[in-house]
Every structure is written in structure tokens, then in C-alpha cells.
């Protein structure tokens, strides 16, 4: 069952999302060659707690850390460790936080130093596919419309859309109804309703869509060993339209990137 949120609850969820947005922004200036993901994890946990929030992933389904960090061929759910990041890596950093009893959950894939042109394109297309999907999250549409749009866009670039992992409803639980696949058929699936909140999160492989599982019980990798990217935003359906709760603006501030990509998903709710 899809749980509708009131306007007040949506504003509380914006606070939860912003804890994560600021955490990713803080991490953006720390991600460089030589840094370990365990160090990033420690920074993130402290930073979340300083904001009066609780790490959302730590202990959830027994996950051992605050961040899911997934470099290169890892798709998602990578566990922080002591291996230093290297020039040319990409790393998906997925972070959750609980504030006011609500979850925030979003992710960004960072280049480490200079990356190849091919990898840059993978990052750019995956992020763009996220916005292509969010545009379809509106009243009158269904779950399949978002998935279809992301899939079409992604496959047109020759990339693989991961099937086994999907976006989801978000609220007092990390995973609520509905599931939000990054593939699908137009007009199919559950109908969107006013006040629902979802995490939309394309996971895009440069090569095959197929994945495999690492023995640690968590880490998901591409089957062909090619890189994979992952971007995630939290979005509420307000006035029939998508309203972005999370933001990449803190990341862009840290990295000196100019972007107005989020402007179309912000309403004046005052
Ligand atoms: Mg996430
Ligand atoms: Mg998620």
C-alpha cells in the first residue's frame, strides 16, 4: 500500500533528505586518490550525528556501515574498506539518514581525480536518466512510465539497465511501496497519488545489464566487470508534480560545478 504524506510530513522528509545531501556535499571534497572508503564512512557517520540525525543504513538488514560505497564495477551495496581510492576510479556513494522519524536516502557517483571520456559519459547519462525518470513522476502516470522513460533513455546510449535492484517508496521505512524499477512498460503498474514520496535511483552499467553477487552477501557487481554508475534523488508528488526533496547542490558547491538541473523540480510552496 502506498502511504500518502501530508504537506507537513513532506517538509519533515525534506529535512531528512537534506541531512544526506549535506553529507554527500561534505564527502565531495574528501573523495580523492589515496583516501579509503572506511575513512569516508567514519566522516559521514560523525557528520550525520552532528546534525541530530541517525545513520539510516547502519544496522538496517544488518548492514555494517553508514555508507554504501561501490567503486567501478560494483553496482551498489559495497561495504567500506581500507583499500585506497585510485585516480580514474568512479565511486557510487549511497547514504541514508533518519531525522524526525523519516528516512532520507540518496546517492551520487563521483569521479576520483581524472576519469576517462567513456566513464565521464556513463556518469553524465546515468544522472540525466534520473531526471528523465523524475519528469514522469506526476499525477496521471504510473510506475511503468518512470521505468520506461529511464530504460529508453539509457538503452539508447547502449548501456545496461540493472533489473534486480529498484527504487522504492520512502517514509518512516526505508523501503515502502511502490517498487520503482528503472525499466518497464508505459501505463503499467501502480498509479501515482498525491503526497507519495519515492526514491528514484537508476543503476546503469556501461556493458551488460547482468550482475553478480560478491560472497560478502552485500556487494553487487557487473557480470562483465565494466563500470556501473548510480544516482538517486528523493521526490514527493506535490500539486500533481514532482517536487525534489534531496539536492546535489552541496556537492556542486564543493566541486565548483555550476548547474540549474534541479530548478524544474522545485515549486514555490510558501
Ligand atoms: Mg540509496
Ligand atoms: Mg534507495
Output the CA–CA distances (angstroms, integers) from residue 141 to 92, 138, 193, 200, in the order listed.
29, 6, 9, 15
For residue 105, say whether it is annotated as part of any ligand binding site.
yes
pLDDT for res 270: 75
Number of domains in the chain: 1
Q: In this structure, are residues 238 and 194 in contact, taking their beta carbons and an 8 Å threshold?
A: yes
Alpha carbon of 33 to ligand 1 centroid (Å): 24
Task: Report the candidate in 108, 103, 10, 11 with the shortest Cα–Cα distance to residue 55.
Answer: 103
Residue 2 belongs to a domain? no
Strand order in the sheet with 160-161: 160-161, 203-205, 228-230
Alpha carbon of 202 to ligand 2 centroid (Å): 10
Residue 269 belongs to a domain? no
Residue 268 belongs to a domain? no
Q: In this structure, are residues 123 and 204 in contact, taking their beta carbons and an 8 Å threshold?
A: no
Q: Which CATH number fits the domain that encloses residue 227?
A: 3.90.230.10
For residue 157, say whether it is annotated as part of any ligand binding site.
no
Which ligand has its closest atom nearest to the C-alpha of 231? 1
Which ligand has its closest atom nearest to the C-alpha of 107? 1
Residue 19 belongs to a domain? yes
Alpha carbon of 105 to ligand 2 centroid (Å): 5
Residue 52 belongs to a domain? yes
Alpha carbon of 232 to ligand 2 centroid (Å): 7
Alpha carbon of 185 to ligand 1 centroid (Å): 23
Q: How far apart are CA 142 and CA 122, in angstroms?
A: 27
Alpha carbon of 220 to ligand 2 centroid (Å): 14
Task: Report the candidate in 40, 248, 220 with the shortest Cα–Cα distance to residue 127.
Answer: 248
Residue 267 belongs to a domain? no
pLDDT for res 269: 85
Alpha carbon of 80 to ligand 1 centroid (Å): 15
Whole-model pTM above 0.85?
Answer: yes
Alpha carbon of 214 to ligand 1 centroid (Å): 19
For residue 261, say whether it is annotated as part of any ligand binding site.
no
Residue 37 belongs to a domain? yes
For residue 258, say whether it is annotated as part of any ligand binding site.
no
Per-residue pLDDT of the chain (270 residues; tens, 9 = 90+): 999 999 999 999 999 999 999 999 999 999 999 999 999 999 999 999 999 999 999 999 999 999 999 999 999 999 999 999 999 999 999 999 999 999 999 999 999 999 999 999 999 999 999 999 999 999 999 999 999 999 999 999 999 999 999 999 999 999 999 999 999 999 999 999 999 999 999 999 999 999 999 999 999 999 999 999 999 999 999 999 999 999 999 999 999 999 999 999 999 887
Residue 56 belongs to a domain? yes
Q: Residue 101 CA to chain centroid, in angstroms?
A: 20
Alpha carbon of 198 to ligand 2 centroid (Å): 9
The DSSP string of 37-85 is HHHHHHHHHHHHHHTT-EESSTTGGG--SSEEEEETTEEE-PPP-SPBP
Alpha carbon of 113 to ligand 2 centroid (Å): 26
For residue 106, say whether it is annotated as part of any ligand binding site.
no
For residue 175, say whether it is annotated as part of any ligand binding site.
yes
Which ligand has its closest atom nearest to the C-alpha of 94? 1
For residue 94, say whether it is annotated as part of any ligand binding site.
yes
Range of the domain at 46: 7-261
Amino acid at each position: 500500500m502506498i502511504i500518502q504524506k501530508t504537506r507537513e510530513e513532506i517538509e519533515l522528509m525534506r529535512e531528512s533528505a537534506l541531512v544526506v545531501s549535506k553529507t554527500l556535499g561534505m564527502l565531495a571534497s574528501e573523495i580523492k586518490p589515496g583516501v579509503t572508503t572506511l575513512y569516508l564512512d567514519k566522516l559521514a557517520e560523525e557528520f550525520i550525528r552532528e546534525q541530530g540525525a541517525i545513520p539510516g543504513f547502519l544496522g538496517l538488514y544488518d548492514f555494517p556501515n553508514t555508507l554504501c560505497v561501490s567503486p567501478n564495477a560494483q553496482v551498489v551495496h559495497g561495504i567500506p574498506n581500507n583499500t585506497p581510492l585510485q585516480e580514474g576510479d568512479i565511486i557510487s556513494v549511497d547514504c541514508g539518514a533518519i531525522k524526525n522519524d523519516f528516512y532520507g536516502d540518496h546517492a551520487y557517483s563521483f569521479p576520483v581525480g581524472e576519469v576517462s571520456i567513456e566513464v565521464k559519459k556513463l556518469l553524465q547519462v546515468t544522472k540525466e536518466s534520473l531526471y528523465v525518470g523524475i519528469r514522469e513522476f506526476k499525477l496521471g502516470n504510473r510506475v511503468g512510465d518512470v521505468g520506461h522513460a529511464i530504460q529508453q533513455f539509457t538503452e539508447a546510449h547502449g548501456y545496461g539497465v540493472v533489473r534486480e535492484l529498484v527504487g522504492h517508496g520512502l517514509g518512516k521505512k526505508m523501503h515502502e511501496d511502490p517498487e520503482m524499477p528503472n525499466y518497464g512498460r508505459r501505463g503499467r503498474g501502480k498509479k501515482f497519488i498525491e503526497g507519495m514520496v519515492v526514491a528514484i535511483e537508476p543503476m546503469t552499467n556501461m556493458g551488460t545489464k547482468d550482475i553478480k553477487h560478491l560472497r560478502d552477501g552485500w556487494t553487487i557487481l557487473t557480470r562483465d566487470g565494466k563500470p556501473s554508475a548510480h544516482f538517486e534523488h528523493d521526490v514527493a508528488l506535490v500539486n500533481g508534480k514532482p517536487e525534489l526533496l534531496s539536492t546535489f547542490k552541496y556537492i556542486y558547491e564543493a566541486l565548483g560545478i555550476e548547474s540549474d538541473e534541479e530548478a524544474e523540480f522545485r515549486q514555490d510552496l510558501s
